[in-house]
Amino acid sequence: MIKDKVIDKRGEILAEVLPYIKKFWNKVVVIKYGGSAMQDKKWEGQIIKDILLLKYVGMKPVIVHGGGPEISEEMKKRNKVPQFINGLRVTDQETMDITEMVLSGKINTRLVAEINLHISEGIGNGVKGIGLSGEDAQLLTVKKHSALELGFVGEVERVNPEILFILLEKNYVPVIATVGVDDEGVRYNINADAVAAQIAISLKAEKLIFLTDVDGIFKDSSDPSTLISSLNINEAKELIELGCVQKGMIPKVDSAIQALEGGVKKVHLLNGKYPHSILLEVFTDSGIGTEIVY
C-alpha cells in the first residue's frame, strides 16, 4: 500500500514537471547569482547542480554573478572602508582593481570550476562551463555613471551577445563577471542586477531569475504569510512607491521591470538558500518565490 502511494506521488510529480520541460526546451534562462545568496558556500554546489539540470533537460542557462560581500571583505583586508551611495559602491582605482580581481579572478573561476567538477563526475556529458567578463568580445560596453562621485561605476550602454549565442550553441554554460569597459577601454564596476537584465534582453530570454537571500516580495516584510507569488509590472511599481520593496530588493525589482519591458517573458525572485529553489519555481505549478510578468 505504501509502495503504491509512493508510485502515485512520483507519477504526479512527473505529470507536473514534463509539460514545463517541453515548454522551455531550447529557451534561454539567465540566472543572476551573487551578493547575499552567494555568502553561504554550502549551497553553491547544489545551485550549480540545479542550473546544470536546466541544461540537461534542454534549456540554455547563462549565469551572471556579482560578489559585493567578497569585494568588501577584500577591501577591509587592505584597510579600505567600503562606501556606498544609493546602494552603489564608490569605486576608486584601487577599488576597481580589487573588484576585478575578486569577480573575474576569484568568483568567476570558482563557479566555472564547480560546473566542470560536476561534469567530470559524469553529470552530463558534453556540457562545459566557461568564464567571461564584460571585457571579453566586447560583451558589455558601458558609460560612466551619471553620479560622478561614484568613480569607476558604469552603466550598460551596449550588449554584444554574439559570443554568448556561439557558446550556447556549442553546449557551454557561460558564467559572466560584471566588469565592463567604455569605448576608450577604461574598466568599470557595474551593478550585477542591471547587467543580468540587459543580458536577458539581448538574448531574448524566456526567464530571468534573481537568486537572493529572501523568499520574494512581501506586502508586509514582517509577515511571511504575505508573500506575493505573482504580480505584474504596474503592481511592482506600486509596491516600490508604497515602500513594500526596500533596500537591496529595489534594484532587483527595477531591473526586473526593465527586463520585462525589453521583451523577457518572466522574471523570478527566489531564495537561493532553499534546496532546489530554481527547480521548484521553474517546474512546478505553485512555484516557491515571486514571479513578475508584464
Q: What are the grid coordinates assigned to 121, written together? A: 563526475
pLDDT of residue 88: 87
Q: Which strand (E) or helix (H) includes residue 207? A: strand 207-212
Q: How far apart are CA 83 and CA 79, in angstroms?
A: 13
**In total, how many domains does the chain have?**
1
The verdict on residue 151 lying in a domain is yes
Q: What is the pLDDT of residues 11-25, one digit of tens each?
A: 666 677 888 888 899
Single pTM value for the model = 0.92
In a domain, 78, yes or no: yes
Mean pLDDT estimate for the chain: 88
pLDDT band at 7 (very low <50, low <70, confident <90, very high): very low
Q: Residue 23: inside a domain, yes or no?
A: no
Instruction: Calculate mean pLDDT across residues 100-115.
Output: 94
CATH number of the CATH domain containing 82: 3.40.1160.10
Measure the CA–CA gap between 73 and 53, rounded to whole angstroms. 32
Q: Quick one: pLDDT at residue 219?
A: 85
Whether residue 1 lies inside any domain: the answer is: no
Q: Which residues, 6 or more positions from 201, have their beta carbon under 8 angstroms from its beta carbon?
A: 159, 258, 259, 262, 263, 264
Residue 3, domain member (yes or no): no
pLDDT at 4 over 50: no
Q: Say whether 81 sits in a helix, a strand or coil.
A: coil
The reply to whether 16 falls in a domain is no
Q: 79 in a domain, yes or no? A: yes
Residue 195's pLDDT band (boundaries 50, 70, 90)?
very high
pLDDT value for 13:
64
The verdict on residue 282 lying in a domain is yes
Task: Report, as an integer, the average pLDDT of 262-290.
Answer: 90
Domain with 207, as residue range(s), is 28-293
> In this structure, what is the dihedral angle of CA atoms 93, 137, 207, 20, given to the nearest 10 degrees?
-140
